[in-house]
């Protein structure tokens, strides 16, 4: 029919057997949402204003005031970086996208966007507040969704790329469990009214690094010599 407009979702590098939503589409959307989340995170850091000049606020005083915001930014940035690395590690294990993975990933993206908000609320309300618990609940939701993605990939050989070794599977499973375990510990610490409980995720970052080093060391051992 004249004047009709047709849309094609075909991409040259799409995996055979994929539907209209391909890995390339989801990868680009994930990067865009991650970049938007980091932009929201950066906006929480306040720049010096004309009101500060009129109040004769010195650079040292302004820097001291901004320390909680800067710590919150660095901590949340590292958390988002960890999540981004894990997301794309799981993404690399996919041969194609199915409907359930798509739903789980969209829910994960929604929880990711809330991290700058829940993190900044800890700075606005530094005392005893429900927002300290909500931040860790946000992280628990992210960790559970990542675990569900990995569980779905693991149990569905039709969407999983072949060639993943047992050591890689064990390493991935450990990394997936670190985040929800840390979030549960953070909820318990926040309920005890301990300050700066967001910093507990730095331990998670260290655990990720040590697990990666350990798994690479195991992969270098010949199969016959592995115990």
Residue spans of alpha helices (H) in the chain: 23-43, 50-54, 59-92, 99-113, 115-124, 130-155, 166-191, 201-220
In a domain, 66, yes or no: yes
Range of the structural domain that residue 59 is part of? 23-225
Whether 135 and 94 have beta carbons less than 8 Å apart is answered as: no
Q: What is the dihedral of CA 57, 58, 59, 65, to 10 degrees?
A: -50
Reported as a single tens digit per residue, the pLDDT across 62-111 is 555 667 777 878 888 888 988 998 898 888 888 888 889 999 999 999 99
C-beta of residue 94 within 8 angstroms of C-beta of residue 159 = yes
Distance (Å, whole) CA 77 – CA 116? 9
DSSP state of 177: H
State yes or no: pLDDT of 6 exceeds 50. Answer: no
Average pLDDT score, the chain: 78
Backbone angles phi, psi at 160, to 5 degrees: -95, 140
Domain membership flag for residue 11? no
Domain count, the chain: 1
């Amino acid at each position: 029919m004249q004047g009709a407009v047709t849309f094609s979702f075909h991409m040259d590098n799409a995996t055979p057997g994929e539907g209209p939503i391909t890995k390339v589409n989801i990868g680009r959307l994930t990067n865009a949402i991650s970049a938007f989340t980091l932009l929201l995170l950066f906006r929480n850091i306040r720049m010096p204003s004309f009101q500060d000049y009129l109040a004769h606020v010195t650079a040292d005083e302004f820097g001291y005031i901004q320390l909680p915001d800067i710590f919150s930014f660095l901590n949340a940035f590292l958390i988002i970086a960890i999540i981004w690395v894990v997301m794309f590690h799981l993404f690399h294990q996919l041969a194609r996208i199915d409907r359930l993975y798509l739903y789980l990933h969209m829910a994960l993206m929604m929880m990711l966007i809330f991290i700058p908000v829940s993190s900044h609320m800890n700075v606005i309300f530094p005392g005893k507040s429900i927002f300290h618990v909500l931040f860790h609940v946000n992280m628990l939701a992210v960790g559970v969704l990542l675990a569900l993605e990995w569980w779905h990939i693991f149990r569905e050989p039709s969407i999983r790329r072949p060639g993943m070794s047992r050591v890689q599977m064990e390493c991935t499973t450990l990394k997936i469990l670190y985040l929800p375990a840390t979030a549960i510990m953070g909820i318990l610490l926040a309920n005890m009214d301990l300050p700066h409980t967001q910093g507990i995720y730095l331990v998670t970052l260290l655990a990720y690094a040590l697990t990666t080093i350990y798994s690479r060391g195991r992969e270098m051992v010949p199969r016959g010599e592995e115990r």
